[in-house]
Amino acid sequence: MLIRNHHADFGSPLLPDDAEMLSIAAAAEVERQLSRRDDHRPTPLHSLPALAAELGVGAIFVKDEGHRLGLGSFKALGGSYVVIRLVLDEVRKQTGLDVDIDDLTRPDVRAVARQMTFGCATDGNHGRSVAMGAELVGAKSVIFVHSGVSQKRIEAIAHYGAEIVRVEGTYDDSVEFAAKVCNERGWTVVSDTSWPGYEYIPGLVMQGYTALLCEALRTIDAPPTHVFVQAGVGGIAAATAGQLALRYGHDRPRLVVVEPARAACLLETARAGHPVKVPHGEPTVMAMLECYEPSLVAWRILSRVADAFMMIDEEDAVSIMNRLARPKGGDPAIVAGESGGVGLAGLITVAGDPNMRAALGLDANSRILVINTEGATDPERYEELVGLAPADVAGAEKLERV
């Protein structure tokens, strides 16, 4: 199913606060902070010419976030970035010192960080990023995980010294419980979703994500005509849509938001024209996208600058994992987790449907950008679905950038 967004505003796309949050200047500041980190390397951008020819489009580019900051997910750009920002802000507030990321090892900065505790709910990747950021600055982290989070993902979070709190129910239940506990105990909630009265920190999370767009757009020799990006609560989709709108204005690429059919809260929100919470049913294999209520700030942005919303089935997500692991025609192999290739799966679905192709203007000249949002963040689950261990995917250790 594909729904065109009739709410999009091509005249004045973003509200002023959202435009400032996702501005070119803000994105440059994110990249500056990243450049000071010893573990930072720009992630690869792959070209898939064989798949492009098969689908009848001009080019397909995959920004591979499976190698981001050692966490294997684009989420590394959000939570850890925000924790660092908030610690430095608190140091400035308490001491009046003009501190920067280079000062994180100073005793007076570490003393302030030790007083701070950061909490969040997670499907796995965001919590790991928050925990990594807290460990980096010397703060504490408490991560709330719902019953669908795998043991391997929990262990990966705990590796960074986080206290783990298990919550019965869904991701949305864990978000509500985390906010309640953090409020009661005076901890700072670093959520990647927003609700009434809580937008600043989710906005910073999305601001962190803009770094991957900056890297990708510098590497491609001409702007894409279409972008397919997956969504849970909508953070990465909104960051992408907003950044493209600010960069290209009326000439921005067409952006399609892709969700699991079992958790399509943004598609239903777009259909209704206002935020909708969809009922929880059978879990989706796309674990990092299993969200049933959109982020309010993400929807505010997407309602203005996303062109369409669509959903894919379970088998589509598994199929693209296997296709990327065993490419045809000389395309590079890519390790994509259960949620990583969803944008590309959406493109394949659209390319095979004449009506959808026509609706989105997809043709032989189209240049498509997609994001592999995660690698094998649960290696055992990856091997179960693909039949190969991540390390055995041909060429995975010899990534080449376009």
17 is written with which tokens?
A: 């606060």
Query: Of 381, 380, 383, which Cα lies nearest the Cα of 393?
Result: 383
Q: Could you say which of 75, 307, 331, 378 is catalytic?
A: 75
Joined together, the tokens standing for residue 118 give: 């950061």
Is residue 253 within 8 A of residue 8, CB to CB? The reply is: no
Q: How far apart are CA 216 and CA 342, in angstroms?
A: 18
Altogether, the residues listed in the chain come to a count of 402
DSSP per residue, 353-367? -HHHHHHHT--TT-E
What does the buried/exposed string (b/e) look like for 278-316 if buried means 16 or more CB atoms within 10 Å of the residue's CB?
A: beeeeebbbbbbbbbbbbbbbbbbbbbbbbbbbbbebeb
- What number of other Cβ atoms are within 10 A of residue 233's Cβ? 29
Tell me the backbone φ, ψ of residue 370, rounded to 5 degrees.
-130, 165
> In the sheet that 140-146 helps form, which strands lie side by side, from edge to edge?
163-167, 140-146, 117-122, 188-189
Q: Which of 145, 150, 131 is nearest to 177 (CA)?
A: 145
Look at strands 117-122 and 140-146 and give their pairing: parallel
Structure tokens at 41: 């390397």
Known active-site residue 180? no
Q: How far is CA 247 from CA 66, 237, 333, 384, in A?
A: 25, 15, 31, 41
State the DSSP code for 68.
Answer: S
Among 18, 123, 192, 316, the one annotated catalytic: 123
Question: What does the block give as tokens for 271?
Answer: 């259909």
> Residue 193: in which H helix or E strand, if any?
none
Q: Which residues pair with 166 in a beta bridge?
A: 145
Structure tokens at 173: 């239940």
| Residue 277 annotated among the catalytic residues of the structure | no
Q: Regarding beta strands 45-47 and 59-64, do their DSSP bridges make them parallel or antiparallel, or are they unpaired? A: antiparallel
What residues are annotated to the active site? 75, 123
